[in-house]
Chains A and B, each alone.
Chain A
């Protein structure tokens, strides 16, 4: 009986894995296309603010920051990138960065994965 349950569960698990791979693949293709378009749009929109310059950031990373809900201006006054535990201060660069995605980050930005400094 246990073996029976186990094999059914394994089958279910494999089924879900296969589904996830397909779904994930679909998402990946879709995100690449969308990300590329948005990268082009954002690169075009770049107007001198180095923290908005995504011309050297890959489409995948741009998509990732969007999936994480990154915005340049925080909607929550007390939670912004420069008081987030995942923020990397600029040091000698023009802009800071983030542990979760590549590319420049506004100090006053925010993403939905904001974490308090500990």
Chain B
């Protein structure tokens, strides 16, 4: 009897636990059931491209130049594998009967630690696998990598959601990767003498054809996409779309800039998303606890369990030729917690170099796609050679860092539940013709034929062709590319051709000059970047400050700062007067040595009317340039600047002293630090008195 009671009790506990777990977290759906779980925008349909057992835990998909599909699998997530125990894989997916659905796979590479992205390059694949970027090649044609080169090493590697990932080839021939700004000291095996690159705060970009590597603006997390014109957009868990407005190479031109902000949240809608799934138990409970803590501390903070972006991933610009034209250039972003795909329509701003991301009117209160299956985890996307949008679904019961969940809530959670599963879907217009039988064969294509592909309506083909042309370095194609550049009607094609010339080291000033007068602002914008290499083009760059397109004028403002010439300061002063109200233009000016100087401030002031009205943006500018002048602490310059400030209105003096003091704090001269302490301690001190105190110090010094 006692035995029976024990058995009964055990069965009850097991049943209770089992029922409880079933109730807390639903189990997986079959692929057929999962397809039924989707609510998709009218006019589109979704079909299965690949699923387990051929793909498990996919996080990225790329198609190489021959249309081979390579998928990155991340089965170790969310745990960091032990040394030698990594299970990450790259597989080539195979559709043996060409019915558009994968029915076989070959492991290209395995035992990879936290591999997150791949990019085709010179008959192989570049792979982000923190702390490395690898170059893997199959040299004997068996579809398995037998050559491994560690190209770069030293990247941060302690948070698989926020480390080096998302390799993207841009129209400018640079390869970009998101790094979430994490610290690291990166070295390049092909150039061991190059100083290590400090990654603090930056993303990464490199060129293997030139042996160059440097910081890129960001920071981007898991989601990174680049439009036809080289504008980069990044995804971060909560902020689902940001534009990397200023390349970091401009922000780093001098060490005295008051801001390092390079990226901007461009969403015009709030964090609201429209999910069809309820918050899982653990999230609802964690939210309740966090909110209680906020409330107890009297914090004006709201913690959302659902319906607000929290796991935004894989933002990808649609650049294919299969969707209706209105979708070209839209950004699709997954939210892995909301089990949905959000769409943003990008619109360039007229008076600023950035964009606005908006919901389409048809999706004002719903998403492009949402699922009722909480296992649906759309981590990334790609646009295929067929022009369709491929959705990479990691398919997991839970997708969250265990460290961020209270211990008691984790007791019912198996973070690896679903690591044997994974789905990749294809979204296409309803009744669209199947293009799965179009199998690109670019690898064997003659170079002259590749040049023709630069005009393909799908960016996938154009970029593959550009990359292959640059890889091959066949100069016999230069004349044909020049013709494409000079004559093609599509500005996107002209830009590809311009950068093929650049990649073939065949770029001439006349190409750049012609691009400067192109009818499309995107081409003009890049002409300025390229003109930085030709000092004789400075007058034309100055002319571009007046360009009607704000992104062109902005790029001219940035490019000018790379020159040293008497024309620079007056030109940049004009930018301040005309466009300084926009913070990006202001930063563009201040990013250069000339733009952050006393000379610039004096030149701006020469127009008597400038300070007649002291709008807030002008005071911001004064504060920022004062910071730079203070930070540099060139005694002659500070002295001259103080004399100039002494003549200005009180508001200008206040802004100037505020910035100057902040900048001067960066140096450790005892005398100046005492004056600063005195100024800061005396809150009632008039700015004039502060100027006099500083003046006395600097005029005594010089």
Contact = CB atoms under 8 A, between A and B. Distances in A.
A89 B297 contact: yes
A46 interface: no
A88 B308 contact: no
Interface in B292-314: 293, 297-299, 301, 304, 308
A7 interface: no
Given A64-B403, A75-B181, A75-B182, A116 B239 contact: yes
Contacts of A68: 403
Interface stretch (B119-127, B189-197, B412-420, B535-543): B412-420
B66 to A, nearest CB: 33
A99 B414 contact: no
A112 interface: yes
A16 B56 CA distance: 14
Interface string A95-118: 000011000000000001101111
A16 B156 CA distance: 27
B443 interface: no
Nearest to B309: A118
Interface in A2-55: 9, 12-13, 16-17, 20, 23
B260 A77 contact: yes
A63 to B, nearest CB: 10
A75 B159 contact: no
A75 B201 contact: yes
Interface in A48-87: 64, 67-69, 75-79, 85
Contacts of B261: 78
A23 B79 contact: yes
Contacts of A67: 158, 403
B70 to A, nearest CB: 25
A75 B180 CA distance: 11
B293 A99 contact: yes
Contacts, number: 72
Contacts of A75: 181-183, 200-201
Contacts of A69: 158-159
B290 A99 contact: yes
B404 A113 contact: yes
Interface string B255-280: 00000110000000001000000000
Contacts of B297: 88-89, 91
Contact of A112 (B79, B159, B236, B417): B159
Question: Which among B79, B159, B200, B403 has the greatest number of chain A C-beta atoms within 10 A?
Answer: B403
Contacts of B416: 13, 16-17, 20
* Count class of interface residues, chain B: 35 or more
A4 to B, nearest CB: 13
Contacts of A12: 420
A16 B419 contact: yes
B630 interface: no
Interface in B216-252: 219, 236-239
Contacts of A76: 181, 200-201, 219
B347 to A, nearest CB: 23
Of the candidates B181, B301, B414, the one having the most CB atoms from chain A within 10 angstroms of its own CB is B181
Given A88-B297, A118-B238, A78 B260 contact: yes
Contact of A79 (B181, B304, B417): B181
A76 B403 CA distance: 22
Interface in B452-466: none
Contacts of A99: 290, 293
B427 interface: no
Interface in B405-429: 414-417, 419-420
A42 to B, nearest CB: 19
A77 B201 contact: yes
B403 A85 contact: no
A89 B298 CA distance: 10
Nearest to B162: A112
A89 B404 contact: no
A17 B414 contact: yes
Interface string B146-190: 000000000010110010000000000000000011110000000
Contacts of B298: 91
A100 B407 CA distance: 11
A40 to B, nearest CB: 23
B365 interface: no
Contact of A118 (B271, B404, B414): B271
B238 A116 contact: yes
Contacts of A116: 236, 238-239
A118 B308 contact: yes
A23 B162 CA distance: 23
B487 interface: no
Contacts of A9: 420
A88 B293 contact: yes
B238 A115 contact: yes
A115 B308 CA distance: 14
A65 to B, nearest CB: 10
A69 B182 CA distance: 10
Given A13-B414, A13-B417, A75-B200, A23 B82 contact: yes
A106 to B, nearest CB: 16
A89 B237 contact: no
A116 B156 CA distance: 20
B297 to A, nearest CB: 6
A67 B290 CA distance: 21
A100 B236 CA distance: 19
A67 to B, nearest CB: 6
A78 B594 CA distance: 25
B414 to A, nearest CB: 6
A68 B298 CA distance: 26
B403 to A, nearest CB: 6
B401 interface: yes
Contact of B404 (A16, A88, A100): A100
Contacts of B238: 85, 115-116, 118
Nearest to A68: B403
The 8 closest A-B pairs by CB, nearest first: A75-B200, A75-B183, A112-B159, A76-B181, A76-B201, A77-B260, A16-B416, A112-B162
29 contacts: A9-B420, A16-B414, A16-B419, A20-B415, A69-B158, A69-B159, A75-B181, A76-B200, A77-B201, A77-B260, A78-B201, A78-B260, A78-B261, A79-B181, A88-B293, A88-B297, A89-B297, A91-B297, A91-B298, A99-B293, A100-B404, A112-B158, A112-B159, A112-B182, A113-B404, A115-B237, A115-B238, A117-B301, A118-B308
Interface of B: 79, 82, 156, 158-159, 162, 180-183, 200-201, 219, 236-239, 260-261, 271, 290, 293, 297-299, 301, 304, 308, 401, 403-404, 414-417, 419-420
Interface of A: 9, 12-13, 16-17, 20, 23, 64, 67-69, 75-79, 85, 88-89, 91, 99-100, 112-113, 115-118
Given A69-B158, A89-B299, A99-B290, 9 more contacts: A13-B420, A20-B415, A20-B416, A76-B200, A76-B219, A79-B181, A91-B298, A113-B159, A115-B237
